Structure 1
Amino acid sequence: MSSDHVNVAIHEFGGNGRPLLLSHATGFHGYCYLPIADRLDQQFTSYALDYRGHGATPCNDDWDGDWFRYGDDALAAARRIAPDGGLIGFGHSMGATGLLMAAHREPGLFDLIIGFEPIVFPTAMPDDGGDQDGPPSMVEGARRRRPTFPSFEAAVDNYASKPPFQFVDSDMLRLYVAHGFRPSPEGVRLKCDPAHEALTFMGGAGHRLWDALPEIDTRVVVIGGGDGEGPAQIAPGIAERLPDCLFISQPDSTHFGPFVDPAGTADLIVDLTAGLTTDLTT
């Protein structure tokens, strides 16, 4: 159970080995990362959570976009999966932020967090004067997102025909639709309501985890893509502020990297966790 009496949905994907928690990006859900988990079943027992308002986890009507409540969700999931610690976390975008928030509150839970482009903006961005609203294009894009389709197949066909989904792994796209929509009188409807997604984007620039990054003692790997904007632009700065962190640049990747190349992402997780007894900074 998380804060506000939210019961966080946790999906067990099976496998053999130490526990791995997969933590999803805004607007998605845990099942999107099953193509990654399937490739890790000899190294890990994989789990994924759904943050409040996403997938199978409900959200209270009075939620105000406070990202630290997402941190509560990540912490609740981590405690249930590995109450004695030893957990590996892989977080994507907002999901990476949630894991960092959880590690800040309870450092002993995680042996390693791998964060693909966390959303942790500097307290006062140089161009925005400290504005706490999220990127206008992302907020408005979420508000305008089409919430319904006549069928699951119609949703898959629609997304597959245009960016960014036309570039993602086909299995991931089908999982996104199968577990991200529910039957409705119109056909199928998004579980993550566009208004909830917009509120999440608005809150992404307002939390102040940036100030707490130097207090996070957990080992972290921060991965940044190559487009040089938004999350990719701030990723190196996040890594610099974390006390025990390795930064990895993937110049050919975008913010959708884990969805475009789940096999490569799984290989990277294996590589990064193979040497947990060594110093990441050497």
Structure 2
Amino acid sequence: MSSRLIPAQTYEIPVHPSTEGYDVLRIAVEKHTYPAPRPLPANLRIAFLWTHGTGFHKEMMHPIMRQFAAQLRATPKYNKVEFDFISWDQRNHGDSARLNHGLLGMNTSWYDFGMDTIHIIDTLKLKRDYDKVIGIGHSVGATCMILAQFAQPGIFDGLCSIEPLVRGRVLDFEHRSKLPPLVVTNACMESLRNRPFWKSLHPEVLENYVHYGLYTTDDGSVMLKCTKEQENLTYWGDAYDSYTAFMSLKNLSVPLHVVLSDEDNW
């Protein structure tokens, strides 16, 4: 059974007005609500913003979102806390890529993802309607949140960065040109589950990748929502942004929790 969470609300919002494609590109956003247990009134409202990694999509975060919500509800001190989860697909990934089919350009900047992060927070009025806004991101999603905090200090009240892609130097052009796309054409469960990288994924995460990272075309063929071309462009968008994120860490004014893996599966 899929571990996809059913959202309470869905949104299609424009990308940040300062970025390329501002007049045509949109972002798919979902909101999941977790009110305080009745009859206890909430004394604190927290918004958690979740962002996926390169080549993936918002549903990849759902298994950990579900477990995290259960853990919070099982912790007595959070009995009076109302929290909402907001998850989204970056402009060239997942459902956002489907919204933007035929409109995506050849330029991809992680800083644009950071500005989109700010735009989601502003558009949904998270800073106004919640006592705290916490960012939880994986890989490029973690990096774009750090960039958002760098661009607008205080946009987050805390960050959890899972395997953030931050570097203390700018990679040489020759090295960047050799970065391969992660995606595999005609991906399916059986062909992926025994490969080294995919074996490291939680089974529910792999299942969600297969079920929600693909779509069926009108002619019956199966395609990736995030094309291998757009994924490769996303890696190229890392030219300076991961370095900027790394250098900005020393200036962060909010708590930062970093989660790193104990193996390199790339």
Instruction: Check whether TM > 0.5.
Output: yes
**AA paired with 2:67?**
R
What is the SS of the residue equivalent to 1:39?
Answer: helix
Q: Is the 8 A contact 1:134 1:206 kept in 2?
A: no
**CA distance in structure 1 between the aligned counterparts of 2:56 and 2:175, rounded to whole angstroms:** 18
Residue 23 of structure 1 is matched in structure 2 by 51
Q: Is the 8 A contact 2:92 2:104 kept in 1?
A: no
What is the SS of the residue equivalent to 2:26?
Answer: coil
Task: Spell out, residue by residue over 1:79-116, the C-alpha distance to the aligned partner (whole angstroms, 9 max, x if none).
Answer: 23413262111111101001111111222221110101
Shift of 1:156: 1.9
- Determine if the alignment matches structure 1 residue 68 to structure 2 residue 111: yes
- Determine if the alignment matches structure 1 residue 131 to structure 2 residue 172: yes
Residue 148 of structure 1 is matched in structure 2 by 186
**CA distance in structure 2 between the aligned counterparts of 1:31 and 1:134, rounded to whole angstroms:** 31
Shift of 1:131: 1.2
| 1:123/1:162 CA distance change after superposition, 3 Å | closer
**CA distance in structure 2 between the aligned counterparts of 1:132 and 1:192, rounded to whole angstroms:** 24
The equivalences for 1:164-243 within 5 A come to 164-184=197-217, 185=219, 187-207=221-241, 208-209=243-244, 210-227=246-263
Unaligned runs of 5+ residues in structure 1 are 125-129, 150-154, 230-253, 256-282
**CA distance in structure 1 between the aligned counterparts of 2:104 and 2:64, rounded to whole angstroms:** 33
| 1:134/1:205 CA distance change after superposition, 3 Å | farther
Residue 84 of structure 2 is matched in structure 1 by 45
**CA distance in structure 1 between the aligned counterparts of 2:236 and 2:117, rounded to whole angstroms:** 20
Task: Spell out, residue by residue over 1:239-270, the C-alpha distance to the aligned partner (whole angstroms, 9 max, x if none).
Answer: xxxxxxxxxxxxxxx68xxxxxxxxxxxxxxx
Q: Hey, which of these two has a bigger chunk of helix by percent? A: 1
Q: Is the 8 A contact 2:15 2:91 kept in 1?
A: no
Structure having greater relative contact order (Cα 8 Å, sep ≥ 6): 2
**CA distance in structure 1 between the aligned counterparts of 2:127 and 2:93, rounded to whole angstroms:** 24
What is the SS of the residue equivalent to 1:51?
Answer: coil
Shift of 1:65: 2.3
**CA distance in structure 2 between the aligned counterparts of 1:134 and 1:56, rounded to whole angstroms:** 31
TM-score normalised by L of structure 1: 0.68
Q: Is the 8 A contact 1:96 1:119 kept in 2?
A: yes
Residue 139 of structure 2 is matched in structure 1 by 93
What is the SS of the residue equivalent to 2:258?
Answer: strand
Shift of 1:63: 3.9
Q: Is the 8 A contact 1:8 1:50 kept in 2?
A: yes
TM-score normalised by L of structure 2: 0.72
Task: Spell out, residue by residue over 1:195-253, the C-alpha distance to the aligned partner (whole angstroms, 9 max, x if none).
Answer: 111111122243241333333322211222223x6xxxxxxxxxxxxxxxxxxxxxxxx
Q: After the TM superposition, which parts of structure 1 deviate over 4 Å for at least 4 consecutive aligned residues?
A: 132-137
Residue 258 of structure 1 is matched in structure 2 by none
Q: What is the aligned length? A: 217
What is the SS of the residue equivalent to 1:164?
Answer: helix
**CA distance in structure 1 between the aligned counterparts of 2:141 and 2:26, rounded to whole angstroms:** 17
**CA distance in structure 1 between the aligned counterparts of 2:226 and 2:175, rounded to whole angstroms:** 18
Shift of 1:186: 5.2
**CA distance in structure 2 between the aligned counterparts of 1:157 and 1:13, rounded to whole angstroms:** 31
Q: Is the 8 A contact 1:15 1:40 kept in 2?
A: no
Task: Spell out, residue by residue over 1:106-164, the C-alpha distance to the aligned partner (whole angstroms, 9 max, x if none).
Answer: 2222111010121121234xxxxx51466566x2244xx43335xxxxx1222223222
What is the SS of the residue equivalent to 2:121?
Answer: helix
Q: Is the 8 A contact 1:23 1:30 kept in 2?
A: yes
**CA distance in structure 1 between the aligned counterparts of 2:85 and 2:232, rounded to whole angstroms:** 29
Shift of 1:64: 1.1
Shift of 1:14: 3.1
